[in-house]
Chains A and B, each alone.
Chain A
Amino acid sequence: MVDVNKDKFVIIGCKDKDAEAIVRPNLSFWQDAWRRLKQNKVAILSLGILLVIIVLTIFVPIFSKQDFSEQNYELLNQRPSAQHWFGTDNLGRDLFVRVWKGGRVSLIIGFVGTFIELVVGCIYGGISGYFGGKVDMVMMRIAEVVASVPYLLVVILLLLVLPKGVFTLILALCITGWVGIARLIRGQVMQLKGSEYILAAKALGANSSRVLFKHLIPNTIGIIIVYMTMDVPGFIFDEAFLSFLGLGVQSPDTSWGALVFEGQGVMTNHPHELIFPALAICLTVLAFNLLGDGLRDALDPKLRQ
């Protein structure tokens, strides 16, 4: 119990130095999002798996004793063994190395493709959404036309005209894919542009590009990140599909799609040649999707506490 002493009853007033202090720790938007993401065990697990896969694709081809293109006629179509963890393919090449080497290509296509799409989509959608009116109408009509062209047709045509390879693949895949994110960004921008802080920036004299790139786009980053995680697996899938059609990377370069294509040919006798690359694709795509779900919840400003 506090000692109720007469001395303590002298009026001293208050010092206001502490009156404005903020007690809670500095919690930026990202810190809060990370904290929420951590609570989602599935998303964290997916993140972990993805990191492992990425590390493997980077380091296995560098450190492995086997070379991905080294053919060994003695060891055709071998089952997984101590020497060849994933077995060998029909030309005696070590499948383990090939899967991770192929992974590089698939992931690069996924990330780079998504990034290019993102930049184009952001700028296009941002401008269209911000200016609205006629500009928006024209831009969106163009986008719709682009989107309604059967993408496979475009891809095949491009691949026939341009030299086959990773870069062409990426270009082909991006050429119609950017419309999705452009529409998303446009929608967000249209929704946000009426916000009061945007009005405030304009009242201060900010020009359009400042409003768009310093205010609107940063506030759409949450959506962008979620979209990206969902988009990467799409690219990987598409690439696999194209490789399946023989339009993908050419031997000895490989990708997961190409490996699946090769493995599918000998599926009945040597299932391991199909299973491992297919598993790699499935695991990666699943992990990205689950991570994307988790990110969407973590980044949703309405769910913040």
Chain B
Amino acid sequence: MAKLLEVRDLRVSYHTYAGEVQSVRGISFDVDKGESLAIVGESGCGKTVTAKTIIGLIQTPPGEIKKGSSVHFDGKDILKFTNKELEQYRGSEVSMVFQDPMTSLNPTMKVGNQIAESLIIHNGMSKKEALKEAVKMLELVEIPNAESRAKQYPHEFSGGMRQRVMIAIALACNPKLLLADEPTTALDVTIQAQIIDLMKDLQKKLGTAIILITHDLGVVADIAKNVIVMYSGQIVERGNTDDIFYYPQHPYTWALLSSVPRLDLNQKEDLTSIQGTPPDLLAPPVGCPFASRCNYCMQICREAIPEVTEISDTHKVQCWLHHPYAPKVDIPIGNGGNKIVY
């Protein structure tokens, strides 16, 4: 089956007064039709920049998508799109849901109109038809009294409702790919549960592929099929959720998994934290980006970026520990959340 999205060797930098910040440093991944992929990582790892590149929202300048990068959506090279092509692409083929529902909706426009806007532009509907469809979308995202609520303004909705509206806008033209950038981080836990269930439902109904950007591993375990772990602009590990949660191979993934307290287990020991902070991407390190914080660091790690090792069809890791020369290291975590002594 042809891939919906193919990203190859993507490099994106930002030019600031202090120099060039290399936000994304050579990543490649695929997304199938209807798949749900989670990109996990902390602030500054490049996940949001990656999403923005896919949807064509990188401003150049100060951003720069380096030569040699390629992003193919449905066979077409997005990076070569003209402005007009980008405008058609955004909203109808790919759409995005942002983190903060308060600021991503236009406060002066009725909600129904905001959903209809997308339909008018991309599907060429008349205003009347678009508004009818907008009400249907509101029903799809389970907003009660959809018809009367379509005539209301964003401030009359609560945070969770606003996020549903955002999802309705994003899905109005039935895009093939939905990018969700931390869609539940700003919401209360019980509302978050509702939104996640909604997204899973909609995915089943509409067959939309989802790329979910988050740092919440619980959400990943709930909704994602495949996971990419990013650190400092690179992909350090990728696999399906079972691979990542039960057989993680990269020290950063180990640290990430063991720094999250588990509700269902009775843990008495300290949480694992990784000392220090991620490297400044103004002057990215020569070798593996995680070397300066990794307890398993070796000399080679400081000198060269590790080669990618294929653990299985689905599971790949970028770490020198998997080189034949490297010493054997037991996976300190997985299968029951046993704590590691970091």
CB distance A14 to B293 under 8 Å? yes
Shortest beta-carbon distance from A106 to chain B in Å: 38
CB distance B294 to A20 under 8 Å? no
The stretch of B67-75, B110-118, B273-281 that contacts the partner chain: B273-281
Residues of A within 8 A of B297 (CB): 11-14
Tell me which residues from 44 to 61 in chain B have a Cβ below 8 Å from any Cβ of chain A: none
Q: Does A23 sit within 8 A of B, measured CB to CB?
A: yes
The stretch of B34-42, B149-157, B212-220, B299-307 that contacts the partner chain: B299-307
Q: Does B292 sit within 8 A of A, measured CB to CB?
A: yes
Contacts A4-B325, A24-B280 aside, 9 further interface pairs with beta carbons under 8 A come to A2-B304, A4-B323, A9-B327, A12-B298, A13-B296, A14-B295, A24-B282, A25-B18, A305-B16
Shortest beta-carbon distance from B134 to chain A in Å: 34
Tell me which residues from 12 to 41 in chain A have a Cβ below 8 Å from any Cβ of chain B: 12-14, 16, 18-20, 23-25, 35
Give the dominant DSSP class at A's interface.
loop
CB within 8 Å for A8 and B300 given contacts A14-B291, A14-B292, A14-B294? yes
Residues of A within 8 A of B304 (CB): 2, 4
Residue among A14, A16, A25 having the largest count of chain B Cβ atoms under 10 Å:
A14
Chain B residue nearest in CB terms to A10 = B298
CB distance A4 to B300 under 8 Å? yes
CB distance A23 to B280 under 8 Å? yes
CB distance A16 to B275 under 8 Å? yes
Shortest beta-carbon distance from A290 to chain B in Å: 23
Residues of B within 8 A of A6 (CB): 325
CB distance A19 to B277 under 8 Å? yes
CB distance A9 to B323 under 8 Å? yes
Residues of B within 8 A of A23 (CB): 280, 282-283
Q: Does A196 sit within 8 A of B, measured CB to CB?
A: no
Measured between alpha carbons, how far is A304 from B306 in the docked complex, in Å?
37
CB within 8 Å for A11 and B327 given contacts A2-B304, A19-B292? yes
Q: Does A74 sit within 8 A of B, measured CB to CB?
A: no
CB distance A8 to B280 under 8 Å? no
Measured between alpha carbons, how far is A303 from B226 in the docked complex, in Å?
38
List A residues at the B interface (Cβ < 8 Å): 2, 4-14, 16, 18-20, 23-25, 35, 305
Shortest beta-carbon distance from A88 to chain B in Å: 52
Shortest beta-carbon distance from A75 to chain B in Å: 56
Residues of A within 8 A of B265 (CB): none
CB within 8 Å for A19 and B300 given contacts A9-B323, A14-B292, A305-B16? no
Measured between alpha carbons, how far is A297 from B16 in the docked complex, in Å?
17
Chain B residue nearest in CB terms to A25 = B18
Q: Does B245 sit within 8 A of A, measured CB to CB?
A: no
Chain B residue nearest in CB terms to A15 = B292
Residues of B within 8 A of A4 (CB): 300, 304, 323, 325
CB distance A9 to B300 under 8 Å? yes
Count, A-B residue pairs, CB within 8 A: 67
Chain B residue nearest in CB terms to A1 = B304
Interface string of B299-336 (1 = CB under 8 A from A): 11001100000000000000010010111010000000
CB distance A8 to B298 under 8 Å? yes
List B residues at the A interface (Cβ < 8 Å): 16-18, 275-277, 280, 282-283, 291-300, 303-304, 320, 323, 325-327, 329
CB distance A7 to B299 under 8 Å? yes
CB distance A24 to B18 under 8 Å? yes
Measured between alpha carbons, how far is A188 from B7 in the docked complex, in Å?
48
Shortest beta-carbon distance from A206 to chain B in Å: 30
CB within 8 Å for A20 and B327 given contacts A7-B299, A13-B295? no
Measured between alpha carbons, how far is A20 from B278 in the docked complex, in Å?
9
CB distance A9 to B325 under 8 Å? yes
Residue of A10, A16, A24, A35 touching B299 (CB-CB under 8 A)? A10
Residues of A within 8 A of B296 (CB): 11, 13
Residue of B292, B298, B326 touching A18 (CB-CB under 8 A)? B292
Residues of A within 8 A of B329 (CB): 11
Shortest beta-carbon distance from B280 to chain A in Å: 4
Residue of B18, B295, B326 touching A9 (CB-CB under 8 A)? B326
Shortest beta-carbon distance from A86 to chain B in Å: 44
CB distance B276 to A20 under 8 Å? yes
Residues of B within 8 A of A13 (CB): 294-297
Shortest beta-carbon distance from B252 to chain A in Å: 12
Residues of B within 8 A of A11 (CB): 296-298, 327, 329
Residue of B17, B293, B323, B325 touching A19 (CB-CB under 8 A)? B293
Measured between alpha carbons, how far is A23 from B325 in the docked complex, in Å?
33
Complex A-B, nearest 4 residue pairs according to Cβ-Cβ distance, in ascending order: A19-B276, A8-B300, A2-B304, A8-B299
Measured between alpha carbons, how far is A95 from B85 in the docked complex, in Å?
66
Measured between alpha carbons, how far is A5 from B300 in the docked complex, in Å?
8
Shortest beta-carbon distance from B104 to chain A in Å: 18
Measured between alpha carbons, how far is A238 from B54 in the docked complex, in Å?
58
Shortest beta-carbon distance from B318 to chain A in Å: 15
Measured between alpha carbons, how far is A5 from B298 in the docked complex, in Å?
12
Residues of A within 8 A of B299 (CB): 7-10, 12
For this complex, 28 residue pairs linking A to B, each with C-beta atoms less than 8 Å apart, are A4-B323, A4-B325, A8-B299, A8-B300, A9-B299, A9-B300, A9-B320, A9-B325, A10-B298, A10-B299, A11-B298, A11-B327, A12-B297, A12-B298, A13-B294, A13-B296, A14-B291, A14-B295, A14-B297, A16-B293, A18-B276, A18-B292, A19-B277, A20-B276, A24-B280, A24-B282, A35-B17, A305-B16
